[in-house]
Amino acid sequence: MSKDAMVTKKLIEVLEDGRKGFAEGADKLRSLDRPDLAAMFDRHAQQRQQFSADLEAMAAAYGDDIDEDGSFAAAVHRGWMSLKDAISGSDPDGVLGAAVQGEDHAVETYDKALSEDISADLRTTVQSQLADITTARNEVKAQHDATD
């Protein structure tokens, strides 16, 4: 597997965790009568889905098959279950806190990807996605800080 394919696979795992986490968080926030925060979470879930699709398409264009094998599905499931546990039973502050943790992890993973020897095209995409993920993390963190 090429370095680009390995990095892309890891990023897609993190994006899928984020998508699922934001979607579950949005549902929880709706049940807590916070449609404003739910809308923000829905927007970030859609963004993560798009980022994942973009990376998959880029890999396919270069002939890399980002196979979602058992270990990939298990890694996504493990990350999702820990986030789901943090969200279930929480108030809006708890949901926001769990999202901030997830976004911190995403930023770390993207920073690590940029330290790898990856192609120029992938690097450009990762840098662009990282900028948007950082903006999303800052937005969620600001909401979290406002609820303290």
H helices within the chain, ranges in order?
3-31, 35-61, 70-87, 92-115, 120-147
What per-residue confidence (pLDDT) applies to 67?
A: 61
What per-residue confidence (pLDDT) applies to 81?
A: 45
Read off the amino acid at residue 92.
P
Count of CB atoms within 10 A of residue 111's CB? 12
What per-residue confidence (pLDDT) applies to 87?
A: 64
What per-residue confidence (pLDDT) applies to 38?
A: 97
What per-residue confidence (pLDDT) applies to 74?
A: 47
What are the residues whose beta carbons fall under 8 Å from the beta carbon of 4, sequence distance 6 or more?
59, 62, 64, 118, 119, 122
Read off the amino acid at residue 133.
I
Rg (CA), the chain: 15
| CATH ID of 3-147, from 3.30.420.40, 1.20.1050.10, 1.10.490.10, 1.20.1260.10 | 1.20.1260.10
Residues of the chain with pLDDT under 70: 66-89, 148
